């Protein structure tokens, strides 16, 4: 098999196999070919991973931040040096075009390791003077953290969670999505080569039940999940029952608002980036594109012209810029939504079909005349399906954009920057864009409001979610007491 990993799990600094777990085939989405097989973690494997992590934590947290940071920075350099190898693996794991993975996956993982590696030496507390007495605070790690990933960005998710966790002195057991088990193993291997002590970053494979067993283990202090809202509800509830910290990076149905004074081609580019990158399998996508009525037909004409120029095909060919869905199942879900869009009266402008062949390709699809009550305007599709909705006024579009349980992202295209800031200020979303869409630099906080999530990844904000503050009151004089 083309991409068979050395073993299913990476624990205590080495690959570990246990073929008594449920077999999980690794499928290349572009062809349907089985390219590897891993086995879900058995309870014995989960136990080994958690025990090794717990043992490693005291030593790792006891190192200076600068020493921890140096390991992460070295790993970041190694990832950049091996970018092509990692990108090819990401393309096999996910089906995303190599044209994308070469610039968006290992590179983003390296950015996170570099950023948090650089920050690790400066994670300090405060000194608070109270007359002669004083308080000092210490930023302490949480302990054993569990990371659980979705299948759309397996290398990036492992590092967006692992890098800040490790920088703060935590250890992590990471469970990738069962659809994309390969990339996190290579990340763990590189971290060890970069000098990470064994046990600090372990990887175990498995379906949801393995994730659930990690979440409910009393040794685990924090859970960071990237996944759907229904999974988020279950994981959040399980973590809450033991008062654990959480970060929830969940789904969305984000609005992208295009006003009539916008630069039309830039707005179309934003809509394309926000709907068709990674074949639409991006949580923050702006899948409800609200276009002011006076420019709607011009926008649609330009959009369809450009969508029809997508290069669809073998994702390993660097000329390809649009790949398959992750799985047959996901392809069927997306095709089901497209049928529903047609049945509910939306106007199909392009795409809407499966492409011939064994791969899980759905053509980039644009619907016009979508109304707020249609299923395709309400539910997260997680595929290449854009809904374009018309609007007249600013107040109207703000109200309609906010009429959703989700709140991950929002974007506005306008040349009137006062209006741009005014509208963004009223949209209920965590990660917003003005005259752009879907940028995710490590320096910027990333995450959602409402049902789209809790907590933030990236930036200095992430540090707050992987550490806790101890405050120490120090009295310099005598202690007064009542008796
Ligand atoms: P999913 O919710 O089906 O699975 C996510 C992960 O959770 C998988 O690893 C799965 O095995 C695990 N899991 C499932 N049930 C579990 C349980 N009971 N306990 C613990 N773990 C469990 O999501 P998916 O289909 O892999 O990914 C797509 C979803 O992820 C979309 O909704 C998308 O919007 C979201 N997503 C969000 C972000 C973000 O940063 N906000 C990023 C990428 C994807």
Q: How confident is the model at residue 137 (pLDDT cuts 50, 70, 90)?
A: very high
| Residues in the ligand 1 pocket, defined by CB under 6 Å | 148-152, 175, 177-178, 207-208, 211-212, 215, 226-228, 231, 234-235, 249-252, 283, 380, 382, 408, 448, 453
Counting atoms of ligand 1 from 1, which one is nearest the CA of 151?
26
Share of the chain above pLDDT 90, in %: 100
Find tokens 């993982």 and name the residue: 109
Q: What pLDDT is attached to residue 150? A: 98
- Residue 322 sits at φ, ψ, to 5 deg, of -150, 120
pLDDT at position 203 over 90: yes
Mutate-to-test residue for ligand 1 from 222, 231, 242, 249, highest number of ligand atoms within 8 A of CB:
231
* Residues identified as active-site: 161, 249, 283, 457
- Residue 61 sits at φ, ψ, to 5 deg, of -70, -25
Q: How confident is the model at residue 341 (pLDDT cuts 50, 70, 90)?
A: very high
| Residues 436-451, mean pLDDT to the nearest whole number | 98
Q: What pLDDT is attached to residue 101? A: 98
- Helix, strand and coil content of the chain, in percent to the nearest 5, comes to 40, 20, 35
pLDDT at position 1 over 90: no
What is the rounded CA–CA span in Å between residue 208 and residue 204? 12
Q: What pLDDT is attached to residue 390? A: 98
pLDDT per position as a tens digit, 160-178 = 999 999 999 999 999 999 9
Q: What pLDDT is attached to residue 38? A: 98
Mutate-to-test residue for ligand 1 from 149, 153, 227, 446, highest number of ligand atoms within 8 A of CB:
227
C-alpha to C-alpha distances, 224 to 21, 157, 172, 289, 437, nearest whole angstrom: 24, 10, 10, 30, 25
Q: What pLDDT is attached to residue 348? A: 98
CA 221 to ligand 1 centroid distance, Å = 20
Q: What pLDDT is attached to residue 85? A: 98
**Nearest C-alpha to atom 4 of ligand 1 is from which residue?**
227
| Residues 22-26, mean pLDDT to the nearest whole number | 98
CA 96 to ligand 1 centroid distance, Å = 18
Share of the chain above pLDDT 70, in %: 100
CA 151 to ligand 1 centroid distance, Å = 8
Find tokens 């009550």 and name the residue: 373
pLDDT per position as a tens digit, 403-437 = 999 999 999 999 999 999 999 999 999 999 999 99
| Residues 35-39, mean pLDDT to the nearest whole number | 98
CA 31 to ligand 1 centroid distance, Å = 24
Q: How confident is the model at residue 192 (pLDDT cuts 50, 70, 90)?
A: very high
CA 392 to ligand 1 centroid distance, Å = 36
């Amino acid at each position: 098999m083309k991409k068979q990993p050395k073993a299913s799990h990476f624990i205590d600094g080495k690959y570990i196999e246990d073929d008594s777990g449920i077999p999980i085939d690794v499928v290349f989405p572009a062809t349907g070919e089985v390219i590897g097989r891993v086995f879900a973690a058995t309870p014995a494997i989960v136990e080994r991973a958690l025990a090794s992590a717990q043992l490693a934590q005291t030593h790792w947290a006891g190192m200076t931040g600068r020493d921890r940071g140096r390991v992460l920075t070295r790993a970041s350099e190694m990832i950049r040096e091996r970018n092509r190898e990692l990108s090819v693996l990401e393309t096999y794991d996910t089906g995303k075009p190599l044209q994308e993975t070469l610039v968006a996956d290992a590179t983003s993982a390296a950015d996170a390791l570099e950023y948090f590696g650089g920050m690790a030496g400066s994670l300090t507390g405060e000194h608070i003077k109270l007359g002669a007495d004083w308080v000092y605070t210490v930023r302490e790690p949480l302990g054993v953290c569990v990371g659980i990933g979705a299948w759309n960005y397996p290398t990036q998710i492992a590092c967006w969670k692992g890098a800040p966790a490790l920088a703060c002195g935590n250890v992590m057991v990471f469970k990738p999505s069962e659809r994309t088990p390969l990339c996190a193993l290579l990340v763990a291997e590189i971290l060890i080569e970069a000098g990470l002590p064994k046990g600090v970053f372990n990887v175990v494979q498995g379906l949801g039940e393995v994730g659930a067993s990690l979440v409910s283990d009393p040794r685990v202090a924090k859970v960071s999940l990237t996944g759907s809202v229904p999974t988020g509800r279950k994981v959040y509830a399980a973590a809450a029952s033991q008062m654990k910290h959480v970060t929830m990076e969940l789904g969305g149905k984000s609005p992208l608002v295009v006003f009539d004074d916008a630069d039309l081609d830039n707005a179309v580019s934003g809509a394309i980036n926000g709907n068709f990158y990674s074949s639409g399998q991006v949580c923050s996508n702006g899948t409800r594109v609200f276009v002011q009525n006076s420019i709607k037909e011009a926008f649609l004409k330009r959009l369809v012209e450009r969508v029809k120029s997508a290069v669809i095909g073998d994702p390993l060919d660097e000329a390809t810029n649009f790949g398959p869905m992750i799985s047959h199942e996901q392809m069927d879900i997306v095709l089901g939504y497209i049928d529903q869009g047609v049945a509910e009266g939306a106007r199909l402008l392009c795409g809407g079909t499966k492409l011939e062949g064994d791969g899980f390709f759905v053509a980039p699809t644009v619907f016009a005349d979508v109304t707020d009550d249609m299923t395709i305007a309400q539910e997260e599709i997680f595929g290449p399906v854009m809904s374009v909705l018309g609007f007249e006024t600013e107040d109207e579009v703000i109200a309609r954009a906010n009429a959703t349980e989700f709140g991950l992202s929002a974007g506005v295209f306008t040349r009137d920057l006062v209006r741009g800031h005014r509208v963004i200020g009223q949209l209920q979303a965590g990660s917003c864009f003005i005259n752009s869409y879907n940028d995710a630099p490590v320096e910027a906080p990333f995450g959602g409001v409402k049902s789209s999530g809790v907590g933030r990844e990236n930036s200095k904000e992430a540090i707050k979610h992987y550490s806790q503050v101890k405050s120490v009151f120090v009295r310099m004089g005598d202690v007064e007491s009542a008796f």
